[in-house]
Amino acid sequence: MRQAWRKWGVGIGLLLSLSMMGCSNADTLGGEAPDETVITGTPTWNNGISEIVQNKCGTCHVVPATEYTPASIRSYNLNLNVYAGDNSTVRGADNLGSWITGGILEQPMGSIRQMPLDYATPLTDREIGYLQTWAANGVPES
């Protein structure tokens, strides 16, 4: 009987460990409010959007991929830690506008799941508003 409980305990521990992986370089755990970026003025890449995107999205969406990047997105070649990609195969954050206006922050889009994923650092309502404004304005860099 003890052996069965020990195996069960190891299984639960492994499951909990795996659930904390993925993009979980999160700044919030245990129900605490996430850190929030506050933007004064017009949201642009250089005026706060880069901080939001890098902190909340760029942990997973980065080239080269890190240990936090889920295997399912390793081939997307999307580096959200830079505004513009390298003009070959890597895309930058300047490609986010259509995804944001399409609703990826509010609900799943086709086969693409709502962002950020459940185990990543959540965006606040205000940050979502900044990103939507930025996208509506054509994702300006400055």
- Block means of pLDDT (10 residues each) for the chain, 142 residues, are 45 36 47 81 98 90 83 78 87 93 86 77 92 97 96
**What does the pLDDT read at residue 13?**
39
**What does the pLDDT read at residue 115?**
85
Gap between the Cα atoms of 42 and 12, Å rounded? 47
| pLDDT per residue as tens digits for the range 36-69 | 999 999 999 999 999 999 999 988 888 888 887 7
Q: Provide the token pair at 43.
A: 């949201």
For residue 117, the Cα-to-chain-centroid distance in whole angstroms is: 7
**What does the pLDDT read at residue 75?**
65
DSSP string, 68-125: TS-GGGTTS-B-TTSSS--SSS-B-GGG-HHHHHHTTTTS-BTTBPPSS-TTSPPPPH
Spatial contact of 130 and 36, defined as CB atoms under 8 Å apart: no
Model pTM? 0.74
- Residue 29: name the closest of 14, 10, 13, 16 by CA: 16
Spatial contact of 96 and 135, defined as CB atoms under 8 Å apart: yes
Spatial contact of 96 and 80, defined as CB atoms under 8 Å apart: yes
**What does the pLDDT read at residue 134?**
98
67: amino acid identity, one letter? E
